[in-house]
Amino acid sequence: MRKRLAAIIEYDPETKQYIGIVPDVPGAHTVGNTLEEVRRNLKEVLLLVLEETGKEVDAQEFVALEMIEVQV
């Protein structure tokens, strides 16, 4: 069975790595040196976490990602 899960990927200029998390799956996070690597790592960690927990993922419907700018 296939599941579509929303992932958040950010770039950390300090470490020069991409950081990926899947909010609907506790423990599903990873890093990579490229976007392709972090995507591949996310798929791998998702499979491991889901196999280990044996839980069904009740994924939320992804609506949007907004960049909000504030002056501080």
| Full domain range(s) for residue 42 | 1-72
pLDDT at 2: 74
CA distance 72 to 18: 26
Task: Name the 3-class secondary structure at 36.
Answer: helix
12-61 tens-digit pLDDT: 999 999 999 999 898 899 999 999 999 999 999 999 988 888 777 777 78
pLDDT at 10: 96
Tell me the pTM. Answer: 0.79
The residue to which tokens 């839980």 are assigned: 55
pLDDT at 29: 96
pLDDT at 64: 85
Three-point CA angle 30, 33, 37, nearest 5°: 65
> Which residues 6+ apart lie within 8 Å of 66 measured at CB?
none
For the domain that residue 56 is a member of, what is the CATH number?
Answer: 3.30.160.250
Question: Domain count of the chain?
Answer: 1
pLDDT at 50: 84
